[in-house]
Amino acid sequence: MRRIADQAENEAPLFHTTMRLGCVQKAVRLAVGGMLAGFLFAGCSSSSTGKPVAGLSGDPIADGHRMMEAGKPEDRLLWGYRGAAAAMRRGQYSDAKRFLDEAVDRLNGMLGRDRTASKARSAFYRESKKTFYGEPYERAMAFYYRGILYWMDGEPDNARACFRSAQLADSDLKAESFSGDYVIMDYLDGLASLKLGADGADAFKRATARPRIAIPPAYDKEANVLFFVEFGMGPAKVAGGEYGELLQYRLGNSPVQSVRIRAGNYDVEAGPYDDLNFQATTRGGRAMDRILERKADVKRSTDAIGDAAIISGAVVGATSRDNEEAAFGLLAAGLVSKIFSAVTKPEADTRAWDNLPLFLTFAAIRLPEGRHSVSVEFLDAARKPVATFSKQLQITVPPAGRDKVVFVSDQSATPQNL
Amino acid sequence: MNRCLIACASASCLALLLMGCASGVQNPKGIPVTQMNADERGFVAGTGVESQDLVAVTDKMARSILGVRQVASAASTPRIVLEPVINETRFPINKDIFLTRIRTQLNSKSAGRMIFLAREQMAALENERKLKQTGAVTSSSDPNVVEFRGGDFLLTGKLQGLTTKTKAGTSDYILYSFQLVDARTSEIVWEDVAEIKKQGLEDAAYR
C-alpha cells in the first residue's frame, strides 16, 4: 500500500503536468491551426476576377486584345503595352491606339488609393499583385508611342502633350539627377511647339544640354516628313537578392547602332538619341524597393528566429524534464515564426513590357506632296547595313500644312504602304 | 524560468507580426486626387482635364460671351466661326469638345442672338453645292450664287498647363483661355479665363 501510495504520490505531479501540457498543446494546436487557416484564407482571398485563359497564340496583338479582356485585371496594361508595340511595327495603328488610349488614361489617373497596391505592400502578397503600370521608362514609352500616333493624325499639340507626359513619367524629383532626361521627348516637344507657331527653343536647349549618344540637329520647321525610328532589344527585368527582392535589369543589346534613311534627294544618317538601358537603370530607387527590403528582412529574421526557437526548444526539452512546457512553447513559437517566414513574399515584380526597343532616334526631311519611295537601313557599329533589318516603304506625303509621320522599327514589317 | 521563456516567445511572435505591418514608407497608401480652387494653395500637384472641368469652364465662357456688347447689341445677328483650341498642356485631350459645348450652350441660351457657322462641314457643303450646280439634285435657290456666310467673329481658345512633380506628389494647374476676335478688325472683343488646379500622390507601390 505504501508503495502504491508512494507511487501515486510520485505520479500525481506527473499526471498534473501531463494534464497541463495537454491543455497547452491544445491551445498551441488551436493557435497554430488558426494561424495556418488565416494564412490559407489570406492566400485565397484574391479579388482577381480573371477567368482561366487557354494558351496564347503568340501574336502579341491578338493576345493583347484577348488577355485584356480575359486575363488578370492587374495585367491588363501589360498586355496592352505589348500589343501596342507590335501593332506599331505592323502599321496597325488603330489597334495601337486602342491599346495606348487606355494606357494613357490610366497612367494619368493612377493617383490615390489602389487596393491592389495595398496588397503588394503587404508582407503576404507578391509585388506582382499590384496593377501593372510599368516602371517609369515603360510608362514614358506608352506616352511616346501615343504621341507619335497623335502627330500621325495631324494633332501635334496632343502629341506634344504626350511627350511632356513621357518626360514627367520618367522624372523622380527626389533628386535633381533623376529628373526626366529623355533627349527625344524634349526635342519633339520643341519641334511640335515650333510647328504650332510657338517657341521651341527652351525644349531644344534641354534636349541638347545633356546628350549621351547622338546630338539632335537644329530644327527645320519646314520639314514635313518625320521619321520616328527605333531599334534593338530593350532591357529585361530580373529578380536578384536572397529572396528575389531586388529589381534588377538585364541590359538590352542591339547589333544596330544607327539608321540611314534615303528618300528623294535625301540621304540622312541618325544615331540614337535615347537608350532604354540607361533610362531603366538610372532613375534612382523606388519606394517599393524599401518595402521589399523590409519584407526580405522580415522573412530572413523570422526564419532565423524560427530556427533559434526550434533549436532552443529541442535543447531545453532534451536537457531538462522540468522544462517540457517551455520547450514545447519554444517549439511552437519557432514553428509559427517559420510559417510566418514562409508566407512572407518579398519577390520583386518582374512583369515587363518585353518588346520595347533599345534605342530611339528621329529624323525630319522635306518632301513634296505625293508618293515617295523610302529605304531605311539599320547600320552596325562599322556603319554597314544589317541586311535583315532593311525596310522599303511607300509613303504618301499630304498637302502642305500637315506632316507625314513615319514610324519605323528594325522589327517593322516590310514593305509597307503608309 | 518557464514563464520567462514563454513570455519571450510571445514577445517574439508579437514583434514579428508588427514587423510585417511596417512598410517604412511615408504616405504608403497615397493621397486621393482632390479638386481645389485655383487660388488655393495645394499640398502638391495634380491631374488632367475631366468632364467636370469641361462643364465648369464652358458654362462660365458661355455666360461671359452672352454679355459681350458687340454681340448683345449688334445691328445684325453676328456670325461666329469656331477655330480649333490649342492644347499646350501635358494632357492629350479632345480639344473640339470645349468649343462644341460652348456652342451648344450659347445656341440654347442666346435665343438666336448669335449664329455659328458650320465650317467643319465645308467639304460636305461644297459637295452638296456641286451636286446642285450639276443638276444631280434639286435646288430651292440658284446654286451658282455663293451663299456661304462669312464670319463676323472667330471664337478660339488655348489650354496651358503648369506641372509640378515632387516626392510629395504631382500637381497640375491648367489655364483655359478663350477669345472672341473681330474678323474684320482683328480686335479681341472678348476674352475670359478659367483656372483649375489638381494634385495627388500615387501609391508607394508605384513610386
Q: Please report where in the chains the cell 532616334 appears, as a residue.
A: A361
Q: At what angle do helices A156-170 and A93-108 cross, to 10 degrees?
A: 50
Instruction: Inform me whether the C-beta atom of residue B79 falls under 8 Å from chain A C-beta atoms.
Output: no
- Predicted confidence at residue A76, as pLDDT, reads 93
Rounded distance between C-alpha atoms, residue A147 and residue A185, angstroms: 10
Return the number of other C-beta atoms located less than 10 Å from residue A171's C-beta. 21
Distance from CA of B54 to the nearest CA of A (A): 16
For chain A, the C-alpha Rg in angstroms (whole number) is: 30
Could you tell me if A312 and B9 are in contact, meaning their C-beta atoms sit under 8 angstroms apart?
Answer: no
Taking a contact as any Cβ pair under 8 Å apart, which residues of chain B between 98 and 157 contact chain A?
none
Distance from CA of A256 to the nearest CA of B (A): 32
Separation of alpha carbons B184 and A60, rounded Å: 55
Select from B90, B160, B198 the residue whose CB has the most chain A CBs within 10 Å, as the one to mutate to test that interface: B90
Contacts of A136 (CB under 8 A, 6+ apart): A169, A170, A171, A172, A279, A283
- DSSP string computed for A335-377: HHHHHHHHH----------TT--SEEEEEEE---SEEEEEEEE
Instruction: For residues A51 and A47, give the distance between their C-alpha atoms in angstroms, rounded to a whole number.
Output: 12
Contact A157 B165 (CB under 8 A): no
The pTM is what?
0.79
Contact A157 B169 (CB under 8 A): no
Instruction: State whether A323 and B5 contact (CB < 8 Å).
Output: yes
Q: Which three cell numbers stand for residue A406?
A: 513615319
Question: Rounded to whole angstroms, how far apart are CA atoms A193 and A158?
Answer: 11
| C-beta atoms of B205 and A104 within 8 A | no
Query: Which residues of chain B have a CB within 8 Å of the CB of A120?
Result: 205
Cell representation of residue A333? 513559437
As its CATH architecture, domain B34-138+145-201 has: 3-Layer(aba) Sandwich (3.40)
N-term to C-term CA, chain B = 48
Residue A290, pLDDT score: 87
How many residue contacts between A and B have a Cβ separation below 8 Å?
A: 165
State yes or no: ipTM above 0.90: no
Asked if B204 and A288 come within 8 Å (Cβ–Cβ), the reply is yes
pLDDT value of residue A50: 42
Interface of B with A in 172-201 (CB under 8 A): 200-201
CB pair distance less than 8 Å for B16 and A133: no
Q: Quick count: other Cβ atoms within 10 Å of Cβ A1?
A: 5
- Boundaries of every domain in chain A: 60-289+349-417
Contact B80, B153 (CB under 8 A): yes
Which residues of chain B neighbour A344 with C-beta distances below 8 Å? 20
Going residue by residue through chain B (207 aa), what tens digit of pLDDT does each one get? Answer: 556 556 656 666 565 555 555 555 556 666 677 765 544 554 544 467 887 888 888 888 888 888 888 887 888 889 999 888 889 999 988 877 888 888 888 888 887 888 889 888 888 999 999 999 999 999 888 988 888 989 999 999 999 999 888 777 888 999 999 999 999 999 999 999 999 888 888 888 887
Measured between beta carbons, the chain B residues lying within 8 angstroms of A127 are 205
Nearest to A323 by CA among B1, B12, B157: B1
What are the pLDDT tens digits along chain A (418 aa)?
A: 344 344 444 444 433 434 444 444 554 454 444 444 444 444 334 444 444 456 788 889 999 999 998 888 899 999 999 999 999 999 999 999 999 999 998 888 877 777 888 888 888 998 989 999 999 999 999 999 999 999 999 999 999 999 999 998 888 655 554 467 899 999 999 999 999 988 889 999 999 987 778 889 999 999 999 999 999 999 999 999 999 999 999 999 999 999 999 998 899 999 999 999 999 998 777 888 888 999 999 999 999 999 999 998 888 888 877 788 888 888 999 999 999 999 999 999 999 999 999 999 999 999 999 999 999 999 999 999 998 999 999 999 999 889 999 999 999 988 888 8
| Residue A334: closest C-alpha in chain B | B9
How far is A164 from A150, CA to CA, in rounded Å? 13
Domain spans in chain B, listed from the N-terminal domain onward: 34-138+145-201
Q: How far, in Å, CA of A319 to CA of A327, rounded? A: 10
Put simply, the answer to whether A301 touches B203 (Cβ < 8 Å) is no
How far is CA A323 from each of CA A14, A21, A28, rounded to the nearest angstrom?
Answer: 13, 11, 16
Per DSSP bridges, beta strands B79-82 and A246-250 are: unpaired
